[in-house]
Amino acid sequence: MIYFQMEDGKPFSDQVHEFENIIYDMKMKEITLPDIMLVSLLISKLPPSWSEFARSLKHKPDNFTLSDLLVTLRIEDKHRISQKVSNKTPFQAKAHLVENANKPKQKIFKKSGFSNNNKFGQSSHFSKNKNKAFNNNYKPKSKI
C-alpha cells in the first residue's frame, strides 16, 4: 500500500516529486504497476481543493499516460497560482465613468408659418428694403 496524500499547504511540485520518488523506489524493488493504475492512483491522491479537477480527469481516455497526467497537473498548478496572484492585486478601474447633469434636455420645436428668422434666431440676409426687385409692392420711379 502506498501511504501518500497530497495536501493544500505544501508546494504542489514538491508533492509530485515525492510521488515520482515512490514510483522510482517501487521500480528499484521490481514492483511494476500499469500506467493506467498509476494515473488513477495519483488522481485519487490529489488535495481536496482539486476535487472538481480530479473529477474531470477521471473521464480522460484510457490511453492517458502518467507523463500526460503530470504535464496536465503542472499546467493546472500554474493556472491556480496565477489566479491567486491576480486575486491579490488591488482592483483597478478599467473604464472611466461619466455622469450626466440632471438637466432636462431642451427640445427644439419648429415654429409654424413663415418667419424672416432662420433656425438660429437671426434674421436672414434677405430684406425687402435692400432687394426691391423681389418686393411685389415696388414701383419704379417715373422719369419726368
pLDDT (tens digit, 9 = 90+) per residue, 103-137? 666 666 666 655 555 666 566 555 555 555 555 66
Percentage of the chain surpassing pLDDT 90? 12
Opening angle at CA 43, ends 42 and 49, nearest 5: 120
Mean of per-residue pLDDT scores for the chain: 77
Instruction: Please indicate, yes or no, if residue 23 is contained in any of the structural domains.
Output: no
Which pLDDT score, from 0 to 100, does residue 29 have? 93
Element (H, E) at 74: helix 66-88
Please give the residue range of the domain that contains residue 56.
33-88
Which pLDDT score, from 0 to 100, does residue 28 have? 93
Instruction: Please indicate, yes or no, if residue 133 is contained in any of the structural domains.
Output: no
Label residues 4-29 b or e (16+ Cβ within 10 Å = b): eebeeeeebeebbeebeeebeeeeee
Q: Which amino acid is at 37?
A: M
Instruction: Please indicate, yes or no, if residue 140 is contained in any of the structural domains.
Output: no
Q: Please state, in angstroms and rounded to a whole number, the distance separating the CA atoms of residues 51 and 56.
A: 9
Domain total in the chain:
1
Average of per-residue pLDDT across 6-33 = 89
Instruction: Please indicate, yes or no, if residue 12 is contained in any of the structural domains.
Output: no
Instruction: Please indicate, yes or no, if residue 93 is contained in any of the structural domains.
Output: no
